[in-house]
Amino acid sequence: MQGRPKLFTSYAADAAIFPTRTQKVLVGLGVLILFLMPFDIPFISGPVPRAFPDDWAIIGGRYTILGQIPILNEGIPLIRFLGDGNWLRPMTEVFIIATAALGLNILAGVGGQVSLGHAFFMGVGASTAAVLGGQSSEKLWGLGLPVWIWLPGAGIAAALVGILVSPTAVKLRGLYLGIVTLGLVFIGIHLSRVFPQISGDTEAGRRYPEFDIRLWKEETPLINVSSDDTVTGILGLNTFEVTDRQKTYFFCLIVLIFMAFLAKNLIRSRTGRALQAIRDRDIAAEVMGVNEVKYKMIAFAISSFYAGVAGALFASFVGKIAGNQFNLFLSVEFIAILLIGGAGTVSGTLLGTFFVIILPELVEKGTEWLAEQESGITGAIADFVLTEGPGDFGPVSTANVAPGWALNVFDWNIVIYGVLIVVFLIFEPLGLFGIWIKIRNYWKGWPFTY
């Protein structure tokens, strides 16, 4: 109702995906910003004092109208650092990892099943994509099928493996289930070495299929995602180049939006309510008629499907990756995403993924910027924090091999993960989503404290 956003008059309104107008507006603006982020916003430099209003000329690679009409110059990114070309790659990685994290959120956050083997199911999806979509050779298996087959096929294959694992979830709970799923990661690494026909060389890996959209196996794709392209603007008055990074960015973003929509619908469905009941009180839920075996199997299947799709996306995005890259650290990274973002919610999962993936990039870029400072306060901070060799004693090393008293940027990222997990578990178990809830409630209740 107008002015009473939490006063619902029907069950359908209460169970809506976005029950309030504010949520609809925020989600719409967020999606619009994500779609505009890879492109520059053109700016106007002022009119040109020439009497040729109908002529056209090319200045700096952009079309310009000559005459008393402003010049359209090179633009700036919508979001200054995330819109830069160098930041499209980590942003695309955010979309891929978020897709996998949504699956683990359904299993662990909604269903309450501990899993440390999410990276294994990503590896299953990547291997399936390699066989279905990759090119065959004397040493490699591949069918060369189009993306509309190998991408969902990767998810289905991982879901089938998840169904095989699901009976264990009925007999084991808590830490015991976590240890069993942890063993899957090491099994996957071993299988990647046993079957080099699928994963390729142990160190270099193999070439994975690209995102080019084809009807079947024709050489010219309907939509070429893996190479740059020139697009004609409105009325043919302007042309601009869309790079392969931008097209890959859009492809992964569309997949994430679709998978997030499915996850949000699942949570508010009968299956989602049954999983939440099992998570909160499994024995009471079974007494009330919830089939624990059935719904745990569904949770593992859906979670594995999400991981398989994300694994195929990740392998194709990287291009060439070894099977042992789907290791324990990747599984721990997913746990960090849920704990930092907020388990059990789609919004918290997306927030946690953005935070965990972008934070290392910010640490690396910040370290590079700090290393360039030579004078002033920032230079003094750089001398205190950074070390380049035996003569320095800073805690952060800018060299590839760090001295014994210092850590390089990658090691510091691992330390930050551990610290953040401990801090959020102690002070804010609901993660970033819980912080947002507190801010929202404070804003609604201000100036009162209740």
Q: Where do the DSSP E strands lie in 344-416?
A: 386-387, 396-397
* Nearest alpha carbon to residue 245 among 55, 87, 433: 87
Going residue by residue through the chain (450 aa), what tens digit of pLDDT does each one get? 455 556 777 777 777 888 888 888 989 999 999 988 887 765 444 444 444 444 444 344 444 444 444 444 455 566 656 656 778 899 999 999 999 999 999 999 999 998 999 999 999 999 999 999 998 888 899 999 999 999 999 999 999 999 998 888 778 888 888 899 999 999 999 998 899 899 887 777 788 999 999 998 888 888 889 887 766 555 455 566 788 888 999 999 999 999 999 999 999 899 999 999 999 998 899 999 999 999 999 999 999 999 999 999 999 999 888 888 899 989 989 999 999 999 999 999 999 999 999 988 888 888 888 888 877 888 888 888 787 766 666 777 776 655 556 777 778 888 888 888 899 989 888 899 999 888 888 877 777 765
Give this prediction's pTM. Answer: 0.88
Q: How far is CA 331 from CA 117, 203, 213, 335, in A?
A: 6, 20, 30, 7
Predicted local distance difference test score (pLDDT) of residue 357 = 93
Q: What is the pLDDT of residues 343-391, one digit of tens each?
A: 999 999 999 999 999 988 888 888 888 888 877 888 888 888 787 766 6
Please state, as a whole number, how many other Cβ atoms lie within 10 Å of the Cβ of residue 369: 11
Residues of 105-141 as b/e, b for ≥16 C-beta within 10 angstroms? bbbbbbbbbbbbbbbbbbbbbbbbbbbbbbeeeeebb
Q: Which residues pair with 240 in a beta bridge?
A: 231
How many angstroms separate the CA atoms of 357 and 310, rounded?
A: 15
Predicted local distance difference test score (pLDDT) of residue 315 = 94
* Nearest alpha carbon to residue 349 among 147, 127, 98: 98
**Could you tell me the end-to-end alpha-carbon distance of the chain, in angstroms, rounded to an integer?**
23
Q: How far is CA 268 from CA 12, 90, 184, 300, in A?
A: 11, 31, 30, 18
Q: What is the pLDDT of residues 39-66, one digit of tens each?
A: 776 544 444 444 444 444 434 444 444 4
